[in-house]
Structure 1
Amino acid sequence: MSLLHPVNSSYYSNNLNSENNDLDLYEREILNQEYGLCPECNQPNTLDNWCKKCYSKKFQQNFGNWTSGNEHIDKFIQESQLNARNMYELLEWIPYNRLRNIKFLAQGGFSTVYDAIWLDEAIRKWNYEKQGWKRCTSNLDEQDYKDAINTKIKNPLKSDEKYGLRVVLKSLNDSSNVDDESLNEWKLYLQCQYKVRSSGSILVPLCGITRDPNTLNYIIVMLKMPFGSLRNNLLVSKYNPNDKFKILGTISAQLKAIHKLNLIHGDFHSGNVLGPFYHTMMISDFGLCRPVNQPCIKNQIYGVLPYMAPEVLRGKPYTKAADIYSFGIIMWEMTSGVPAFHNVPHGLNLSLNICKGKRPKIVEGTMSEYVELMKRCWDNDPEIRPTAKELHEILSKWFIKYPIETNEEKRIAVPENEPEIKNHPKSCYISRKFDSAKFNEILAKDELSNRVIIMDNDNYNDEIFISDNLDECLIKDNHT
């Protein structure tokens, strides 16, 4: 069963195949860069060494040489190849037997994630001399061959296989009969990929789709980011405080692009921001992404509790402003070095406290302008929160004023004696389904405050609430 929100197919097609006439000046400058002429048709390239017109013909000539076994997936991949204006919008059908060292990485709220090596690597350009696709090659290291002897590894690397691309596999459970609706997350992702690139940033590139021959589940193949998620790297930003301006500026550009397409992310948290990649980050996981005007199923809310806006917890429609609330929580995490509400139960009491205006305690010494912007982001009133565009404009100025330290010798390493972050045993940073109906019954008995109260995590008082048992307000969902 798919957990993806349905999307109007014509909405996707019209946006994917149009050039969007509402580009701002900066976006136009990015898109109007000259990338030379195609040596074959003598027309301007759409990216360095990339001619959409000629490349689409080359892909089309190869359509009869592969199949995923599913007409919807075949069509999705083929459309991406016909419409790709650059390598980041391109999908391929990847035979499962071309993947090596497949190992379990994590269980997400909506997917099972694996680590792997793709032997073929991604297409970069057409080699006119050899009349074939040129792919970037990366040398594998000694650890890859050591990993291959691990009994938990599937498709172990062979000794004569020297090159490969490190990828992440996101298994789509119960997807043997996947349909168009089930692919909406990835259709939206490709829309966002182009829009984000036109804003001078990039999302984690998709490589293609494969299929596990044993489970028959289809699998999305994505480029692996070298250092995990922002949540795993919060302490680095704590000790190198100027990092936060570039990181937040980058992800605000990505969020602005998503919102400009009239989409909402719907599951925005520091675990879904991947990197660092050259001291920047990329938004990932579009499992709950959907058009703004598309309603959620009644009384069904999904998310990670510390990042969920109070109006969403109360069952109101998810909006762009709810993504901004999540952004504000991430802003706080980058000053504290710890995940929000990491040392309290993520249950009914925390939900009620968030709706009452409780927020994490401001870290002493945080820049006053930063605090003001952060408080606007997490305000109880969605109308007071800034837009993604405003966030990007402010953070871009701060990034110039407070440049990141790129000299590795001058950067401050996280001290070896830094205390280990210990999460409360009832905390949970995986997206789950909430039952808003029961939650609203409790809220109706208690008048909520419009004030925002800064909460001291070290003195969290939950005695006045009914229960902190997750099962009372959260319904576990094991689908990916």
Structure 2
Amino acid sequence: MYNNSENVIRQDVVNESFGKAVISFDTDIHKGANEQSEFMRQCFLDDLTLNNAERSYLLDKLQQNVDEFDISNNENEYQCESCLSWSARSNYCEQCCREFFESNFGRWTSGFEEYDKFIQNSQRTLTSPNKVIEWIPSDKFYDIERKIHECFGLIYVANWIDGPIIKWNNHNKTLERTGNHKVMLITLKDGWNQQVETHWRLQINLFSQFVIPFYGLTKESNSQQLMLVLKYMDTDLRQFLPNNHSILSLKDKLNIVLDIVNNLDELHKEQIALKHLHSDIITLGTEKRWYINHMGLTLAKNDPDIDQEKNNNQGQMDFLGAFLNNTLLLSLHFSRYHTFSNLPKPKGINTDEFNGK
């Protein structure tokens, strides 16, 4: 029997089920993407540790990955039964979803034309409903608590009553949401910033696992200051390592490095570089994946400030690496430094040996 005891998604159970499915298929038997995705789908259906919400979540995520693959490879087209338009998405119609958002433009406003145009543009051009940007009224948040002050602004933690969009229900023509959801609210000390549009572009262009999900914009209820609504992050690498270094296996450490390298590599492919790479901006999500919180810390290749940034950061190869061919090697070098420094020295060796001299 399925585990129907509760419909709360337990992220650790979801991660374990997904991991087991990934390592279980045999590429000699399941040779194509369709065969591999079908095998994983059956694994999720047969996994008795999952409750209904977790199973549905994994199946939706799997379908999103299949759709991403189809789009990137120009494979498969599906016709919508309602509007008759064609789409590479099998589980929803982009045109119907866009029209739904457009029909609601008159029901909300941020109070600022620039913000409204930005949000409306993201909704008119959406490729996936769970990557769209929304205007979220401040009264939709509660238990707001100031967390830290970063170089780019203040970070608050809050609960969002409705929660982010999970998917578009093509049959009912409605959006399905998570419900109550913990999020980060980030103020930008310089107000509206090109970094906001950069983050949104990365979210659209990259697979979601490389970018902290950006749900929308809101305003602080008293000051009316613009705030970004982002996925909640549990901790950062600077806080995580001192508390966990004694229990981390080599595999755990390498997985941290791999997540950081993948993040950097994808940023570099988009011709975007970090001004600084330090452990404070490497953050851990609730699904135990590491992200780089690059908000306020990136420069595009053609950014007019790039020459000044080079002068200010001579020798910082994490910046220059974005425009060199061996970006993966450079990224690995700096990620390794942040992941393995400040750990206890192994017993029986002197300081020179520990430092590789």
* TM-score of the pair, normalised by structure 2: 0.66
Secondary structure of the equivalent of 1:228? strand
Within 5 Å, give how 1:333-348 maps onto structure 2. Answer: 333-336=338-341
Aligned to 2:98: 56
Count of paired positions = 278
Within 5 Å, give how 1:253-332 maps onto structure 2. Answer: 253-296=262-305, 310=315, 320=322, 328-332=333-337
Change (3 A) 1:191 1:116: same
Secondary structure of the equivalent of 1:69? coil
Residue 363 of structure 1 deviates from its aligned partner by 7.9
CA distance, structure 2, for counterparts of residue 267 and residue 50 of structure 1: 40
Aligned to 1:209: 217
Secondary structure of the equivalent of 2:337? helix
**5+ long unaligned stretches in structure 2:** 1-67, 345-350
Residue 295 of structure 1 deviates from its aligned partner by 3.8
**Higher helix proportion (structure 1 or 2):** 2
CA distance, structure 2, for counterparts of residue 105 and residue 34 of structure 1: 46
Residue 102 of structure 1 deviates from its aligned partner by 0.7
CA distance, structure 1, for counterparts of residue 152 and residue 311 of structure 2: 10
Within 5 Å, give how 1:58-457 maps onto structure 2. Answer: 58-128=100-170, 130-137=172-179, 164-173=180-189, 175=191, 178=192, 182=193, 184-197=194-207, 201-225=209-233, 227-235=234-242, 236=244, 239-296=248-305, 310=315, 320=322, 328-336=333-341, 364=354
Change (3 A) 1:128 1:294: closer
Change (3 A) 1:237 1:328: farther
Residue 301 of structure 1 deviates from its aligned partner by 7.6
Residue 40 of structure 1 deviates from its aligned partner by 3.0
Check the 8 A contact 2:130/2:166 in 1, yes or no.
Answer: no
Instruction: Summarize deviations over 1:276-332 as a string: whole Å, max 9, x none.
Output: 4444211213313222132427766899xxxx662589xxx8562698767533312
Check the 8 A contact 1:247/1:279 in 2, yes or no.
Answer: no
CA distance, structure 2, for counterparts of residue 336 and residue 35 of structure 1: 49
Residue 191 of structure 1 deviates from its aligned partner by 1.8
Check the 8 A contact 2:71/2:88 in 1, yes or no.
Answer: no
Check the 8 A contact 2:97/2:129 in 1, yes or no.
Answer: no
CA distance, structure 1, for counterparts of residue 311 and residue 161 of structure 2: 36
Change (3 A) 1:205 1:39: farther
Secondary structure of the equivalent of 2:223? coil
Identity %, equivalent residues? 26
Check the 8 A contact 1:267/1:288 in 2, yes or no.
Answer: yes
Aligned to 2:72: 31
Change (3 A) 1:35 1:327: farther
Instruction: Summarize deviations over 1:442-464 as a string: whole Å, max 9, x none.
Output: xxxxxxxxxxxx699xxxxxxxx
The amino acid that maps onto 2:215 is C
Change (3 A) 1:269 1:53: farther
The amino acid that maps onto 1:170 is I
Check the 8 A contact 2:257/2:339 in 1, yes or no.
Answer: no
Check the 8 A contact 1:230/1:275 in 2, yes or no.
Answer: yes
**Higher strand proportion (structure 1 or 2):** 2
Residue 269 of structure 1 deviates from its aligned partner by 2.2
Change (3 A) 1:129 1:362: farther
Residue 270 of structure 1 deviates from its aligned partner by 2.0
> Which structure has the larger Rg?
1
CA distance, structure 1, for counterparts of residue 171 and residue 71 of structure 2: 30
Residue 126 of structure 1 deviates from its aligned partner by 2.8
* TM-score of the pair, normalised by structure 1: 0.50
Cα RMSD over matched residues?
Answer: 3.5
Change (3 A) 1:242 1:276: farther
Change (3 A) 1:229 1:50: farther
Check the 8 A contact 1:38/1:51 in 2, yes or no.
Answer: yes
Change (3 A) 1:102 1:302: farther
The amino acid that maps onto 2:269 is K
Secondary structure of the equivalent of 2:235? coil
Change (3 A) 1:333 1:288: closer
Check the 8 A contact 1:90/1:207 in 2, yes or no.
Answer: yes
The amino acid that maps onto 2:267 is I
CA distance, structure 2, for counterparts of residue 219 and residue 133 of structure 1: 23
Residue 54 of structure 1 deviates from its aligned partner by 1.9
The amino acid that maps onto 2:117 is K
The amino acid that maps onto 1:215 is S
The amino acid that maps onto 1:261 is E
Residue 118 of structure 1 deviates from its aligned partner by 0.7
Residue 252 of structure 1 deviates from its aligned partner by 2.0
